[in-house]
Amino acid sequence: MSRRLHCFGQASDGQLGVRLAVAPQSPAMIMKPVMVIGAPRGDQGCSVVEVACGYEHTLMRTEEGEVWSCGGNEFGQLGRSGGSGSGSIYPIVFNGARIIQVACGSKHSLAVADDGRLFAWGSNSHGQLGTRLPNKQLVAHQPKRVILPEVIQVACGATHSIALTENGRVHTWGLNGNGQLGTGLRPQSSEHFVDTPSSVESLVGVPIIQVAAGGRHSVVLSVSGAVFSWGENLYGQLGCGDNTDRHHPGHVKSLRSMKVVYVTCGDGHTAALTKEGRLFTFGADTYGQLGHGSQSHSIVPKPVLELMGSTVTRVACGRCHTVVAVNRRMYAFGLGSDGQLGLGSTRNAVTPRPVPDTSDVISVFAGGDRTFFLQAPGVISEESGPHCRLLLPRALNLQRVRLLLNARDNETLLIEELEAVFSSASCVNASFLKHDDTRFNATKSNHGIDLDEAMETFNLIASSSYADQHSEVMQKSVELSLLGELGPSPPDVEALRLYIILPCCHAFTPPAENYKVLHVPFAAALLSLTAIPKKIIEHWWTSFAPRHFNRVVRVFKSVLEYILSLPDVLQTSSNAVEEQKARDTAVLTSLKVLDKLNSINVANHKIPIETFYLDELADKRDIAHDFVYWLLQNEDGKFYWSDYPFVFNAVAKTTLLQTDAKVHMQLSINEANRQNIAALFVPFASPVSPYLVLQVDRARIIFDTLSQLLNTRPESLRKPLKIVFAGEEADDAGGVKKEFFMLLFQELLDPNYGMFVEDGESHEIWFSGSPFEHAGNFQLIGILCGLAIYNGVLVDFHFPLALYKKLLGQRVTLDDLKQLSPTEGRSLEQLLDYEGDDFEDVFGLTFTTTVSVFDQTRVIDLRSNGSNVAVTQENKHEYVELYVSFRLDLGPDGIIKQQFDAFAGGFHRVMTSRILRIFQPKELMEMVIGNENYDWEEFKKVAEYRGAYWAGHESIKLFWEVFFELTLEERKKFLLFLTGSNRIPLYGMKAVKMIIQPAVPEAMPVAHTCFNLLDLPQITGDNKELMRRKLLTAIEYTQGFSLV
């Protein structure tokens, strides 16, 4: 069977397109569906795909893009000359334009052509045509061009018009007596109008996909189902919970989560259709047009309960009635005075009533006091949505880009698409949406974007044959158009999507040559957002997968890396001041964004903290100088790198810590000098040493050290340290301090001393937990550890990473216990990995542990009544956490906690610097004991030679030849032999400067450990094996020290 168009309702002016045989005094109406025989026809029957209704006239659009009209023509609204109306349906001439949508106001008409042109005709009494007619005419009998480019949709109120353009902008014109234009203009009177299109600026950035208009109000729908309304609100038709007219678009909040896919308006009521086929109505209900059964106006959207359980696929509103399609049947409710409900009477219906003889309904249309519907037997039922296909603003997605890249003119087509999308905030915000229902209901918890698809799309564009041109087009479009649309208070959450889409674009990827026109303005716009939108973006960042979060970090970090790679600004150049200011601005804005990202990362552990590090910073900028001035803060508002410590790598942090120590040392020296000068005028005053001097006897180094530290005031601990060994005259230029700490810690940390215990497998040490060790001793060891760091001396600590985590206030985990005690760690991992149902039978554990103190075994509960609580599959994670905490944090009777607290207290008495807080545990550990990042070529490069030796000396060449033939373990032994440690400082091998001086050929190599000084025998000629033998023999004996 072929398609058919049916109608019913008011027909006094021929607006139904059917002829009536009625007496002169009889009301002209049709109360039951009749077929519109004169409607345009095609191969499949009736070719009409859209019907638009004014108060007395009707437009019909065919699938071929033709427009036909019938009804009243008093104001030329039929688009043909002559004032008389006609029940006959005639075509309107558009001179070849193919029309894709039509709309009717009370007495005016609009039509959109497929090339974006907009035509208007009919009454222009309130400027509703959007074009100024010659000689101030108030009527246009023929379609007139409206000067508004790239129009894709239109809607008409009674005397106003609304259009959506390809770039996502909404434009309005006509009567504005109730604010229905949404431009914010306050009308001087109820007859105030605007006769040319004006942009609704408060919607810029919101991805609008549909426009609709009622009598004196307007409604638009976003791509994610958000509804905005403005204009007259006498009956609550705006759905905002009150009866106040609005001159700006307002969000209908209660519909946000309902997945609205279509909106339509009557004279004083509004209807919203959801993806699931639910219908919500609000506004005037005088005649039951809301379908709620109460005839009470509703100021908020309410579901039509009579239709609950059914799937509404189409909805249309007349002046005071509503019609819907449900399961290909038609239902109507509201005013019935002219038969517009099709129920065979003129009675009103306050709830949906089935319209007789309506089946196979695929589309419904209504306007004024009449109704049309299309029948198409055999057509598969469609999803809920518009009555005909609506053209949407441009947006990018992977499928679209693939299609354009495969097109014959792919270069031109894709460039045009990219230019259009990236010139419009609305179009970017409509791009890369997810294909499931998560694209709806955009909130701070849901941005609705498929970031993987966005990345894949941009990668596809970047790998195309015209990648450079595409990148340039996107950059220029963003720079010249899109960035200008960004303001501090976006109108809706959907307007924020571009802030997470643009960093995916390869125009933003490193290197950041375009930072001045792209990255910096973008970052500035982001930073200028008010509190709520800024917080929403931060929520979105928090939800990112690590790969996407890393991408955002890279974008802004690349600006800093690029600027650091640039040569210094030449002060003699003409634009030096401007260039330096531009760079400073770029650095500051990028750092501020990275600061937000870093805070999120610290709280959520998205990516390694090292990702934020600028490894070139310490080499490119004088961060020590920056830090000193930052401490002084002598210039308000000045930029300091030290305000953003998260970009400092371990080397930079160590530099700052050492700089901070030097500052405090100098302050201590200055204070001592001040006191000594003052003492000149005070009889019998004792001089104050500017140094912390420890005089120790090698034979009793621990006793001498601890007894002197006990009597040292805390502020004196921050003086420069000098060590004097009894009976020795060596000046402490650094080497003596190094030897002092080596000797001291070798004894103090020896497990035989009793304060610490060593694991037999890892050889790491931990607090003994012995009740017989005084806490004060641990405090003194903490002080000594702090003194070593404070004075820049590496120490041979065999503590696991857990110590440094605890010093920095971080929680220890099973991995930390595994490092200290691999056997215990593996056992607990096996317990966690076991998933069998016989868990309790296999392990037979309770929440207890056993400890041995002087051959006495104690059973200790890990939790209250732990001996009676079995470890099960459900609580095994709790057991492991409590066990780890007992071993590393508490110990029996909390003794390990007491010992560590005493150690940490001593450590922090010396290490008061705020810089310590920015270290990561591994960095702090490597600063204390060094690392194993060996670069042996650098080791050779920085070596120095004394006496007869030089780089080309035969003995030196023979030495290096033998050295590079050693195994890694043998080289590490040599490093231990030379420096007292087989680890190197954070600064790398360049900080391990070996000095080689000649010794007699018969001698063995001797290392002066405190000064990295090697006495190397002068072995030459073919004596390579002799050199090897002497060297290997020497490195087997790494104990004992010589001082020069």
pLDDT score, position 26? 61
The contacts of residue 272 (CB under 8 Å, 6+ apart) are: 227, 252, 255, 258, 260, 262, 263, 279, 280, 281, 301
- DSSP 8-state secondary structure symbol assigned to residue 433: B
Nearest residue to 16 (alpha-carbon basis) of 61, 44, 53: 53
Nearest residue to 88 (alpha-carbon basis) of 38, 144, 160: 38
Does residue 972 sit in helix, strand or coil? helix
Of 579, 612, 645, which residue is a domain's last?
Answer: 612
Regarding whether 48 and 104 lie in a shared domain, the answer is: yes
Query: Would 780 be classed as within a structural domain?
Result: no
Buried b (16+ CB within 10 A) or exposed e, 111-148: bbbeeebbbbbbbbbbbbbbbeeeeeeebbbebbebeb
Query: Would 1030 be classed as within a structural domain?
Result: yes
Regarding whether 9 and 42 lie in a shared domain, the answer is: yes
Query: Would 313 be classed as within a structural domain?
Result: yes
Does residue 417 sit in helix, strand or coil? helix
Neighbours of 98 (CB within 10 A): 11
Q: Say which CATH number the domain at 958 has.
A: 3.30.2410.10
Distance CA 513, CA 496 (A): 25
Of 556, 587, 612, which residue is a domain's last?
Answer: 612
Tokens coding 886:
């007992």
Query: Would 951 be classed as within a structural domain?
Result: yes
DSSP string covering 400-415:
HHHHHHHSTTHHHHHH
Query: Would 1002 be classed as within a structural domain?
Result: yes
Calculate helix-pair angle for 775-790, 921-929, nearest 10 degrees. 80
Regarding whether 463 and 564 lie in a shared domain, the answer is: yes
pLDDT score, position 218? 98
Residue holding tokens 């004279």?
A: 267
Distance CA 71, CA 372 (A): 14
Regarding whether 338 and 202 lie in a shared domain, the answer is: yes
Regarding whether 416 and 335 lie in a shared domain, the answer is: no
pLDDT score, position 55? 96
Regarding whether 190 and 110 lie in a shared domain, the answer is: yes
Query: Would 200 be classed as within a structural domain?
Result: yes
pLDDT score, position 578? 87
Q: Give, in order, the Cα–Cα distances in Å from 217 to each of 165, 268, 271, 279, 691.
A: 20, 8, 13, 20, 83
Domain that holds residue 435: 398-612
Neighbours of 168 (CB within 10 A): 29
Q: Say which CATH number the domain at 318 has.
A: 2.130.10.30
Regarding whether 434 and 365 lie in a shared domain, the answer is: no
pLDDT score, position 226? 97
Question: Known catalytic residues?
Answer: 1010
Which amino acid, residue 33?
P
Tokens coding 673:
């000098």
pLDDT score, position 803? 94
Mean pLDDT per 10-residue run, the chain (1044 residues)?
90 89 68 94 92 97 96 92 81 93 97 96 94 81 93 98 97 96 82 91 96 98 97 97 96 96 98 97 97 95 95 97 96 97 96 94 96 89 82 95 82 89 96 94 94 95 88 92 91 96 89 87 95 96 96 95 88 78 92 96 92 92 88 75 92 88 83 77 73 87 86 85 79 70 80 81 88 80 89 82 93 94 92 88 88 78 89 91 93 90 92 86 86 86 91 90 90 85 79 89 84 87 86 71 32
Regarding whether 587 and 545 lie in a shared domain, the answer is: yes
pLDDT score, position 1043? 30
Regarding whether 205 and 155 lie in a shared domain, the answer is: yes
The domain total for the chain is: 3
Q: Is 71 left (phi over 0), alpha (psi -120 to 50) or beta?
A: left
Nearest residue to 814 (alpha-carbon basis) of 802, 804, 799, 803: 802
Query: Would 939 be classed as within a structural domain?
Result: yes
pLDDT score, position 24? 52
Regarding whether 252 and 205 lie in a shared domain, the answer is: yes
Regarding whether 413 and 264 lie in a shared domain, the answer is: no
Residue 947 CA, distance from chain mean position: 61
CA atoms within 13 A on the CB side of 346: 8
Residue holding tokens 């270069």?
A: 411
pLDDT score, position 21? 62
pLDDT score, position 393? 96
Nearest residue to 99 (alpha-carbon basis) of 118, 122, 71: 118
Distance CA 925, CA 919 (A): 9
pLDDT score, position 1039? 44
Nearest residue to 353 (alpha-carbon basis) of 318, 319, 321, 382: 321
Regarding whether 350 and 482 lie in a shared domain, the answer is: no
Which amino acid, residue 331?
Y
Query: Would 102 be classed as within a structural domain?
Result: yes
Of 577, 612, 647, which residue is a domain's last?
Answer: 612
- Residues in a beta bridge with 7: 34, 372
Distance CA 663, CA 676 (A): 20
